[in-house]
Amino acid sequence: MMKQILLVDLCREKDSLSRYEFVDPIAATLGSSGYLSMAIHFSDVTGDEMENYDKIILCGTALKDDGYQETLCLFSWIKQCEKPILGICAGMQVIGAVFGGKIVPQPAIGLEKMVIVKNSPLLGEAREIEGYHLHNYCVTLPDGFMLLAGLPRAANAFQHETRPIYGIIFHPEVRNRWILDRFANL
């Protein structure tokens, strides 16, 4: 049976144009690798819907779209979810905040080199990679998470210590599509 991945659209408004930039490319990448995905706006995600999916990706948003920060209570389900979760950009910020990290200003636009400091199933072995950044904020490393890249005060990537929950601040749909494949194959 084909794996199904839930794409959570974090854009402030349902069906916004930003979905074409931050959600649809992820769906296209997964589809070209043989995975089914379905996008649902974060305000419509319920526990019942989770049963239909094997994995969950919290997608990014536009630079000025930070409405998810005002509605973090809608993401409390993340703490109880047992399925693999990947947070991309704003999605990483949401995961970090739900687990006690702080969303802090750190604007970045464009390609940036990052040092992967710890081997992981998502990013592979420790080395330097380049990723496309498009964000005004990052998140501090929450308790119970391991730093995969960046600094504890401004993580570029992290992983929960015991659960398959990952966050990356950069956009793999632009430059590192292999990360989406690795997540789909976890």
> Domain range holding 49?
4-184
Number of domains composing the chain? 1
Q: What is the mean pLDDT of the chain?
A: 92
**Residue 173 falls in the annotated catalytic set:** yes
**Residue 89 falls in the annotated catalytic set:** yes
Instruction: Please report, rounded to a whole number, the percentage of residues in the chain having pLDDT higher than 70.
Output: 98
Contacts of 7 (CB under 8 A, 6+ apart): 23, 26, 27, 37, 38, 39, 40, 57, 59
The whole-model pTM stands at 0.95
pLDDT digits (tens, 9 = 90+) for 58-84: 999 988 888 888 889 999 999 999 999
Q: Single out the catalytic residue among 11, 59, 133, 171.
A: 171
Q: Single out the catalytic residue among 21, 59, 138, 173.
A: 173
CATH number, domain of 134, equals 3.40.50.880
Whether pLDDT at 1 is above 60? no
Q: Single out the catalytic residue among 11, 59, 89, 138.
A: 89
